[in-house]
Structure 1
Amino acid sequence: MEKDTVTETLTEQMRGWRRDIHRHPELGFHEHRTAGLVAKLLSEWDIHVTTGVGGTGVVGTIRGNRGAGPAIGLRADMDALPMSEKGAVAHRSTHDNVFHGCGHDGHTAILLGVAKHLSAHRAFRGTVHLIFQPAEETLRGGSAMIDDGLFDRFPCDEVYALHNNNALPAGKIGVRVGSILSACDLFRITVKGVGSHAAMPHKSIDPIVVGTQIVQSIQSIVSRNIDPLDTAVVSVCKFIAGTAINVIADTAVLEGSVRTLSTGAQKLTLARLQDICEGAARMYGCEVAFEHLQTSPPTINTAEQTEVVRRAAEQVLGADNVIANVAPLMASEDFAFMLQQRPGSYFFLGHNGLTCHHPEFDFDDDTSPTGAAVFIEIVKQRLG
């Protein structure tokens, strides 16, 4: 079915769009060229286009010609990462320290392929909203579109999205009911002690000693507070203190992230972080400030919509190429905010190549027809 649905011509067009976007990557909320390309192509295919949703987001609306029916949303992310591309592909990034190292160029090209196909095959009921989202890497673009009235202006009964995943071979689709990606919480801990000469530590409250105690205590959260059958990761990724080799600093700053697969583990971990900071402040007689910088929920798929994806993928690829209970990842995704608003499902598209965020990552263009065909089959099943 895949070859019948996605033609060789459309496959080559998706490859061309993807590589053009790859050459001209843009960071979150700055996807002006990418959004312009998307809007131009959608307009050429006689699809109603709305730009500027949530900043640089674009929504294309296609109404079927078989009367009223449900509305579904198909979403792709458009932004790149603030990192340098180290690969030598012909279509490598032309911008310093901006690089499509996560495959969002491929996701955008796939949804453009779906848009072109549906624009010429409107024999369905209801409406398809094609959601091209900014700033996924910041975990803020999805909520920005929602805050800008995404689901009020473009009502969706359910929503779907995909992401490349090299843990699955190319040609396979992974689906999962429940949490498929983790929540993400970013934090900063500031320890305000008392500085002193390195030879006179008794006159100081050393923030490095306090900070190291906090780091050690944090390790007990996962090992002693989280249910072993649940999942959490707490990582302190920055520890900054001091300016001279013979001076005990007066301040230390720690920054890190929390990843959890359930809202219960998320709430418990954040509460324990706060408790540990308050306890350290009392123990050492100094000020310890805990800041919860940013949060996003786990990406939780609903059962009915995940079954839709499974059936669609089996129709396209055959049952042997669909992993029905794929392992979750501890990466995070702000499509989770959309799934809080509407039932839906996020699924994995297997691909050959390096993992996301590797400096030589390049999206596997040979997988684009598979992703597009599954999206198209979802539309057929829900609106056909």
Structure 2
Amino acid sequence: MTLTEDQLIQIRRHLHQIPELALHETQTHAYLKEVIASFSQVYLTVHEDSRLPTALLVRVAGSRPQRTIGYRTDIDALPVSEPADHAVRSQHPGVMHACGHDIHMSVALGILSYFATHQPLDNLVFFFQPAEESESGGKRAYDLGLFTGDYRVDEFYGLHDNPDLPTGTIGCRNGTLFAGTTEVNLTVHGKSGHAAFPHEATDAVVIAAALILQLQTIISRDIDPTRCGVITFGKVTAGTIRNVIAGEARLEGTIRGLTQEMLLRIRQRVQEVANGVAATYNATIDVDFNQGGYYPVENNPKLTQRFITYMQRAPQVAFQETRPAMTGEDFGYLLAQIPGTMFWLGVDSPGALHAATFVPHEAAIIAGVTAMTGFLEQRMQA
């Protein structure tokens, strides 16, 4: 049975009501298995791994396989409280599918249901991935060897919904679609003291202020202005009371770049600037970077051009070429290991991704299923 649009919408609404955070997607995992069990099992093999228990792999056996094509969807949610006036609302307080992974899963189930009854030429592997929003689920799966043996993937595809594109529109570009991200934490170690005697202390607040200003010059003065990079510090903590000079300050931020080379260059300069500021103020500054699996999403040129050409020519598809975005996605790690393509699916939401006001249009689901099943069938003829 191929899931109908009404069935896909009901699936999406159920998933929307049971959002779960990274590596805790047990209810979601169980529901996905229940839906998949309702499909014809003639061509399907379902695989789980106790080392990543909320992940799910589903293999569809091809009739004349030349390759194995992977399709990935993320399944986790965000720690966002959903407004009470939403028609379909999370039943898990403080957790919401504010990034649209319920849409992603519904599209994947629609595609899988089609190929469960229309045997593909090539083998297909559907990867229902936990922990995209945090904890680097894609990297965990790859490093655990989930994509080996019968589940080895030759090329990978996946989507992300886009609140700014018209409902059902497919958006893509060759090269980088999403930036890579690296968390950066800097801890300034000075010397606390009385506010009235600054000469006897080493003021971590002053050092942190100087450090933030100097780090911003990396983007404006060290990076080619025709290439993109971002350094943002969203959290700064220091001190306990107004009349005590703080001996320690902590800065927590994010670095973003459209290529891995750019990220590494920015990281190098952050370390160098921190060393210089520490020497200037006679302090110590610890720098900690954590990229995990959040590499830039760099689309494979050959596969992506084939994807774009199909979407441009398909009469049932509305296609737009899109610009790079500075948002992060851990599908970038998988694309650094396995060639493939990520694309946008327009959902025309009034609210942005990760916002409590994010409300995607459900008509996008069937549009995504139609576009991707058509592309996969055409791809398997090549």
The structure-2 alpha-carbon separation of the partners of 1:328 and 1:139, relative to structure 1 and needing over 3 Å to count, comes to farther
Tell me if structure 2 keeps the 8 A contact 1:87–1:361: no
Which stretch of structure 1 is more off in the superposition, 304-313 or 346-355? 304-313
Aligned partner (choices 18, 26, 29) of residue 20 of structure 2:
26
**How many pairs were matched up?**
374
- Aligned counterpart in structure 1 of residue 248 of structure 2, from 242, 248, 251: 251
Aligned twin of 2:225:
228
Contact 2:316 2:371 in 1 (8 A): no
The letter for the 2-side match of 1:61 is R
Instruction: Describe the superposition over 1:127-165 as per-residue Cα deviations: whole angstroms up to 9, x where unpaired.
Output: 010110001001501001111212214111100000111
Deviations 1:287-331 (A, max 9, x none): 111111334211000112112322332354457x2123x111100
Residue by residue over 1:223-260, the C-alpha shift from the partner in whole angstroms, topping out at 9 and shown as x without a partner, is 11111110001001111001111111111001100010
Residues in 2 aligned to 1:197 and 1:39: alpha-carbon distance in whole angstroms? 62
In the TM superposition, residue 171 of structure 1 has moved relative to its aligned partner by 3.0
Q: Which amino acid aligns with 1:35?
A: H
> 1:143 — aligned with what?
139
Report if aligned partners of 2:163, 2:360 keep a CA contact under 8 Å in 1.
Answer: no
What residue is the counterpart of 2:159 in the other structure?
Answer: 162
Q: How far apart are 1:55 and its partner, in Å?
A: 3.6
Superposed CA deviations along residues 65-117 of structure 1, whole A, max 9, x for unmatched, are x3232110011100000111125223201111111000001100110111111
Q: What is the SS of the residue equivalent to 1:356?
A: coil
Give RMSD over aligned pairs: 1.6
Tell me if the contact between 1:29 and 1:56 (Cα under 8 Å) persists in the aligned partners: yes
In the superposition, the TM-score normalised over structure 1's length comes to 0.94
Opposite residue 297 of structure 1, the aligned amino acid is Y
For residues 255 and 312 of structure 2, the distance between their equivalents in structure 1, rounded to whole angstroms, comes to 35
Is it true that 1:376 corresponds to 2:370 in the alignment? no
Give the 3-state SS of the residue equivalent to 1:312 in structure 2: helix
Q: Distance in 2 between matches of 1:229 and 1:141?
A: 32
1:57-76 paired onto structure 2 within 5 Å: 57-64=55-62, 66-76=63-73
Give the aligned partner of residue 52 of structure 2. Answer: 54
- On the 8 A contact 1:42/1:48 being kept in 2, the answer is no
Q: Distance in 2 between matches of 1:179 and 1:27?
A: 27
User: 1:177, 1:306 within 8 Å by CA — same for their partners in 2?
Assistant: yes
* SS of alignment partner, residue 151 of structure 1: coil
1:1-384 to 2 correspondence within 5 Å?
10-45=4-39, 46=41, 47-52=44-49, 54-64=52-62, 66-86=63-83, 88-122=85-119, 124-138=120-134, 140-153=136-149, 154-295=151-292, 296-317=294-315, 321-324=318-321, 326-353=322-349, 354-384=351-381
CA distance in 1, matches of 2:52, 2:121: 28
Decide whether the 8 Å contact of 2:22 with 2:135 is kept in 1. Answer: no
SS of the equivalent of 1:189 reads strand
**Deviation digits for residues 206-231 of structure 1, max 9, x if unmatched?**
00000000000011101111111100
Give me the whole-angstrom Cα distance separating, in 2, the residues matched to 1:347 and 1:316.
16
Q: 2:103 & 2:319 partners in 1: Cα distance? A: 20
Q: Distance in 2 between matches of 1:317 and 1:208?
A: 60
Letter aligned with residue 209 of structure 1: V
Is the CA contact (8 Å cut-off) linking 2:180 and 2:257 kept in structure 1? yes
Gaps of 5+ in 1: 1-5
Identity of aligned residues (%): 32
Change (3 A) 1:290 1:98: same
**Is residue 62–residue 129 contact of structure 1 (8 Å, CA) maintained in 2?**
yes
Distance 1:289 1:98 in 2: 33
Pick closer, same or farther for the CA change 1:323–1:139 going to 2, 3 Å. Answer: farther
3-state SS of 2:286 partner: strand
- Structure 2: unaligned runs, 5 residues or longer: none
* 3-state DSSP of counterpart to 1:313: helix
